[in-house]
Amino acid sequence: MSAGSGVQHGNMRPANPADTGMTKRRQPTALIVGASKGLGLAMVDEFLTRGWHVIGTIRGTGTTGLHALDTRNRLDIETLDITVPRQISALREQLSGTTVDLLFVNAAVAHADIPVADVSTESFVEVMVTNSLSPMRVVESLQDLVPDTGTIGIMSSSQGSISLNTVGGHDVYRASKSALNQLFRSYAARHAADARTLLLINPGHVQTELGGPDATLTTKDSIPGVVDTILTHQGAGGLHFLDYRNQVVPW
């Protein structure tokens, strides 16, 4: 189901390391879900810059900003619409045998900023399915690609924090991120003995299609810090809700 890089996955090893006279160390691999633009695209670029092999997913088969990065022979591009369960299953099959040191899900939509009672049922369902249910389906389906020393992360938001909601607004988006946080916390509780690190990341208010042009941060302000935070907690275990400065975000 590959969408086009044709590059072999970077975690393949010699059949017999002894034949080479030395053990070849596997290149770290990140799977960034939702990588065609915005925060996800910036994350891919940052991990490539730091020497990682990256698998990035896009929703369609057209050319995206991700394809422009495919010049370092460490990027694979796969197709995935996370709201379509059969595509999640297909990606899992496509990646069978791949070891992923970081599985990170970046996906979000937001509709009009209106009181929840004025939101149509269709709009409410779309935001909740995209922002809350679908990321957890991806995590549940792809989790076994991540070893005990690995990390599973999801892009959350400070707007998902109940205690920080002192001004209201963006009701459904806030609710979707709060639901996501709760669902991931339930996942962590069900996997209490799991050694993997689980991260919910608030990237800050970033100038993307979702964040808008008046946001206070650019991707260059936010994403290096997001990646630093992820790498700082490698191997730490447990569930953490953090921002791009590695500061704890209250639930």
Provide the 10 A C-beta neighbour count for residue 49.
12
- The H-assigned helical ranges of the chain are 38-49, 65-68, 85-94, 121-128, 134-142, 171-190, 219-232
Instruction: Say if residue 53's pLDDT is above 50.
Output: yes
The two structure tokens encoding residue 134: 């679908």
pLDDT at 207: 82
Provide the 10 A C-beta neighbour count for residue 155.
26
pLDDT at 24: 52
Instruction: Say if residue 19's pLDDT is above 60.
Output: no
- Going by pLDDT thresholds of 50, 70 and 90, the confidence category of residue 236 is very high
Q: What is the pLDDT of residues 105-157, one digit of tens each?
A: 998 899 999 999 999 999 999 999 999 999 999 999 999 999 999 999 999 99
Return the higher-pLDDT residue of 16 and 169.
169
Q: What is the pLDDT of residues 2-14, one digit of tens each?
A: 333 333 333 333 3
Report how far residue 181's alpha carbon sits from residue 237's, in angstroms, rounded to the nearest whole number: 17
Architecture of the domain made up of 27-243: 3-Layer(aba) Sandwich (3.40)
Average pLDDT over residues 32-59: 95
Question: Is 157 in contact with 106 (CB distance < 8 Å)?
Answer: no
- Which residues, at least 6 apart from 58, have a Cβ–Cβ distance to it below 8 Å? 3, 35, 36, 64, 66, 77, 78, 79, 80
pLDDT at 152: 98
